[in-house]
Structure formats: C-alpha cells, structure tokens
Amino acid sequence: MNAIVLMLIGLGAMALGYAFYSKFIAEKIYRLQADYPTPAHTMRDGVDYVPTNRFVLWGHHFTSVAGAAPIVGPAIAVIWGWLPAFLWVTLGTIFFAGVHDFGALWASVRNKGKSMGMLSGSYIGRRGRNLFLVVIFLLLLMVNAAFAVVIANLLVSTPTSVIPVWGAIVVALVIGQLIYRWKVGLLWPSIGGVIVLYALILIGNSYPIVLPDPILGMTPRSAWIVLLFLYAGIASLLPVWVLLQPRDYINGLQLFVGLGILYVAVLLASPTIVAPPINHAVPEGTPGIMPLLFVTIACGAISGFHGMVASGTTSKQLDKETDARFVGYFGAIGEGMLSLAAIICCTAGFATLVDWQAVYAQFGGGGVGAFVNGGDALLIEGLGMPEQLGATLLATMAILFAATTMDTGLRLQRFVVQEAAELAGFKVGTFLGTVVALAVCMALAFGAGSDGSGGMVIWPLFGTTNQLLAALTLAVVSVILIRKGRNPVFTLVPLAFLLVMSVYALIVQLGTFKAQENWLLFGMDLVILVAALWVSFEAVLAMRQGRDPNAAPDGTLESERA
C-alpha cells in the first residue's frame, strides 16, 4: 500500500473531525459562550494567569502535550501491524482525545482554572480527589524523569541537535519580550523566530557539540539530565509570558513546519508501506495486542496528561471561552498528525520488509530511533535532503516536543505540590513548590539509577496510568455535564472504553511484574489500580445524583456564578 493513501485518509478524517464533530461538541454539549469571563481575566496575576492570543496558546498547548510519547507509542505499536495503530490514532484523535482535551479545558475554565485533581474534589468528593492527586503526581513523576532520559539520549546520539535545541530558548526569550513588553505584532516575531530556528538547525548540523566524558565526574548523559532539570526548574519559576508561552509557541510553529516538510516528502517520495497491515508473525515474547495497543499508544490517540496540561496551565491563559475549541480540540488534532507521521516513518521509511523486521525483531525495538531513521530516509528520497541534516531535523523535533512537555510537566508538578499542601492546611510558595517537585524528580532519576536513568524504572506503568487518568478526567467532565442537565454520552462512551482497557492492562501487568518478582512495580500497579477503581466508584455515585437542582435554566452551576 502506498503511504500517500494512508496520509490522506488520516489527515482528511482529522480535518472533518475538527470541522464538524468539534463544532457539534462546542455548540451542543459544552455550549461555549464568548462573553463568559475566563480565569485569565478574573484572576489575572501576570505569572500563571495571563490572557493569551489563541494562536500563541495553541502553540503552548500543542507542544506541551506532544512530547516524545506520540512518537514512541506508535513507533512501538506498529509491531502488531500498521492498521491497528492507524485506526486507533485516527479514531481516537477525533472521538476520544479531542473531546477529552477540549472538555478538561472547558471544565477548568468554568471553575476558576482549577486542575482536574481539585475539580474531582468539587464534583466527585474528597476521597476521590485525594486518590486522583496520587495518580496525577505519579504520572507527572514518570513523565518528567523519563523524558529527561529520552532528551539526554538524543543529545548524546545526535550532537548536531544541541545548538538548535538550546538556541530555541534564547529565541523564545526574545520573542516574549517583543510581544509582551514592546507590544510588537505577532506576525514578524513568528516569521523571524521560525527562520532563526531553522538557521540554528543548519548551524548545529555543521557544528555538533559533544560533552567531554567524564564531566565533573558524570557521564555526558548524566550531565545533560542535570542541566535539563535545572532548566525546567528555572522555567517553572518564570512568568509564563517570559519563556513558557513564547517557547511553546515558536516551537509549535517550527514543529508544524517540520511536520509539513515530512508530509511533503511523503508526497514526493510516494513510498510503499513495507510493514504488514496485521502482523501475524510477531517476534517471540511480544505481548498480545489486546489490551496493550490502547495503552502503548496513549498520546496521539488520547492521553490523561493532556487533561493535566489543559486544566493546569492552558485554562489559566484562555482569553475567551470560545477559544477552547481551537486550543483544546485542534491541539489534539496536532498530536494526532504527529502520531500519524510516526506511523508512516516507521512503516514506509524502510527499503524492504526484511529491513523493517530487523528493527522490529523484539517488542520495543522501534521507538524514537525508528522514527528518526525512517523519517530521514523519506526526507532523503523525497526532498534530496542531506542524510545528516534530515537526522538533525527529526532529532531536534523529537527533543523540542519532549522538552516543552518537560517544561510544562514540572510546572504542573509544582501546582500539585501546592494543592496538596493547601489541602493539608498550609501554604507552599512558588519557589518551595518548585524545589520540592524538582527534588522528587531528581531523587527518582539518580536514586533509582546512578546515571540519571532512574525515571525509566517506573516507565512501564506510564501507558496504563496515563490512560486511567484520561478515563478519570472524562468521569469528572461527565459529572459536570450531568449536573448541568446535558447529554453525557459523548464523554461516557470513551470513558467506559478507556476504563475497561486500562484496568485490563493493569491486571495483565500485575501478572507480569509478579512473574518477574519486580515488587516495586507490582506494588505501584496495585496502588494505581485500587485508586482508579475507587475514583470510578465515587464518580458513578456522583453521576447518580443527576441534574443539580440549583442549576440555572441554561445549565450554569452555582460554582460558575460565584
């Protein structure tokens, strides 16, 4: 099968989903109001609560949610064949991720920018909230610690990406000053920023940077991990307009251009998908496709992390409630496009089926490497791009996606620390909250692995934990819809599917961890499973209460009027 067919079907379906399905959800289910006062205005503080142009905010949201996972998940899952991965990414993006991300953003905006963890307390109950926060904290810990390893590995393996990756920070700082301090229009900083970022890729390709080994007693990878955490800590302390917003926005533009280049290369190269649609000859030791397909591909189909970003940082910057459709739903579309590109690179970026099978000789044999190498081959064939330049471009894309997720992830973890402290009866400031979040991540990274790779120890639980969190987020949104007297079926269907698949996967993993005598993961798996089932039970009880008798005729709740 020609990869162009797959590309056109996938992109076309997502475009139709945004044009029609998201409009239906916005008008009939969430019922957005342009004049509703958003937290960015009512709680404006110039640090976290800042009214933001919807295109800039889309850039922040898209690059924050599109980390390494929408590349890694599909790049691994195609071992079962390209068809299941393609269907899950396409249909999941339209009917699951878009509704989930959009819904989390809308629910938070309607409740003073509260995170999903705090919202669960308002709509599900205190016990559900406490357990929800436990799941959120564990997921953020996995993301921050593991993504630091992914980025460090790419900086070591592709030293030509070092200059563009770190240079992007300087570009973002300049753009933030231009837009917010000097009130320059968005157009020219956007054009200039993208040009500079791609110029940095050309410079980096000519001047690779390799850290000495050892450096201050650390390996290069360990040194990069320390630097990444220090940077993320500083970024978490700065007002969003100084670095987080402009970095995510300009990276979003660059990465969208990069995706466009990759798709143009597919059009010109017209490659054949060498991988089978259904792989009946999976390598020995490969787990069954059910239910693991639906947790291996999390980001790119639906991801609980998106709900944390939507309710943690994005909702505090939304200028108008009607912008939520573009920022939330189209943000999910952007990630679906990235995952679709990953599927094409990892199935059509090989010369023969034998070459593909050599990479996928065992489960987990794909990953970022398959995306970079397969995409590089497509860029060479379709655009005649020099080999190393293509690898630099794709590695930089992967790193920037992961880095912007890590930026936001540490800020979100700081929010969770502050919220937990508030529930315990004392206040934790921004600086102390950041220090605590940073200390926990560093403790895991270097406590469970002397080279900083400790984050990978608990990574096997990421997929199931992430999908369970998406289900729990949909549960909160469903309760809100029921309280408003609106039809919750469009959130309940994906909720039920995710809950079944995620619990099924957790039970399967319990058996695996027990057989491996990995008692750490066994215990964490059990805690997450109990917490998820408990929150789900509390959510069902909340749903049974029905419509709020104090709701206004238009469904506005008392908490939204306060």
User: What CATH number did the domain enclosing 337 receive?
Assistant: 1.10.4160
The model's pTM is 0.88
Please check the confidence at residue 326 and state whether its pLDDT lies above 90. Answer: yes
Closest CA to 84 of 73, 68, 72: 73
Token couple for 84 = 């299941």
Highest mean pLDDT among 256-260, 322-326, 508-512: 322-326
Question: Residues, the chain, total?
Answer: 562
Q: Does residue 291 have a cis peptide bond before it, meaning omega lies within 30 degrees of 0?
A: yes
3-state secondary structure (DSSP) of residue 377: helix
The Cβ-side half-sphere exposure at 407, using a 13 Å CA radius, reads 29
| Tokens representing residue 40 in the block | 């960015």
Residue 107's identity, in one-letter code, is A
User: What gap in Å lies between CA 223 and CA 216, rounded to an integer?
Assistant: 8
Can you give the three-state secondary structure of 218-281, one letter per residue? ECHHHHHHHHHHHHHHHHHHCCCCCCHHHHHHHHHHHHHHHHHHHHHHHHHHCCECCCCCCCCC
Number of domains observed in the structure of the chain: 1
Amino acid at 450: S
Q: Using alpha carbons only, how large is the chain's radius of gyration in Å? A: 22
pLDDT in tens, 64-88: 887 777 888 899 999 999 999 999 9
Residue 399, pLDDT score: 85
Backbone angles phi, psi at 272, to 5 degrees: -95, 140
Work out the average pLDDT over 308-313.
Answer: 91
pLDDT at res. 48 = 85
Higher per-residue pLDDT: 46 or 555: 46
pLDDT at res. 418: 87
pLDDT at 403: 82
DSSP 159: G
Section 114-136 average pLDDT: 83
Helix/strand number for the chain, H first, E second: 25, 0
Mutual orientation of helices 368-383 and 244-269 as an angle, nearest 10°?
60
- What are the tens digits of pLDDT across the range 156-182? 988 999 999 999 999 999 998 998 889
- What's the domain range around 213? 3-561
Q: What is the pLDDT of residues 270-289, one digit of tens each?
A: 999 999 999 998 898 888 89
* Count of C-beta atoms within a 10 Å radius of residue 562: 7
Alpha-carbon distance 264 to 347, whole Å? 17
Residue 473 pLDDT > 70: yes
pLDDT more than 70, % of the chain = 99
Other Cβ atoms within 10 Å of 262 Cβ, number? 25
Q: Residue 501's pLDDT is what?
A: 92
| pLDDT average, residue stretch 118-145 | 83
pLDDT at position 562: 53
For 384-422, what is each residue's pLDDT tens digit? Answer: 888 778 888 888 887 887 888 888 888 889 888 888 888
Q: How far apart are CA 419 and CA 414, in angstroms?
A: 9
pLDDT of residue 561: 65
Question: What number is the average pLDDT over the span 55-61?
Answer: 89
Task: Give pLDDT tens digits for 178-213.
Answer: 988 898 888 899 999 999 999 999 999 999 999 988
Q: How many CB atoms lie within 10 A of CB 553?
A: 6
Q: Which pLDDT belongs to residue 315?
A: 95
Tokens representing 56 are: 């800039």
Average pLDDT over the chain reads 89
Give the C-alpha separation, 287 to 80, whole Å.
10
Position 386 scores a pLDDT of: 84
* Contact residues for 456 (Cβ-Cβ < 8 A; gap 6+): 145, 146, 149, 449
Q: Output the pLDDT for position 524.
A: 86
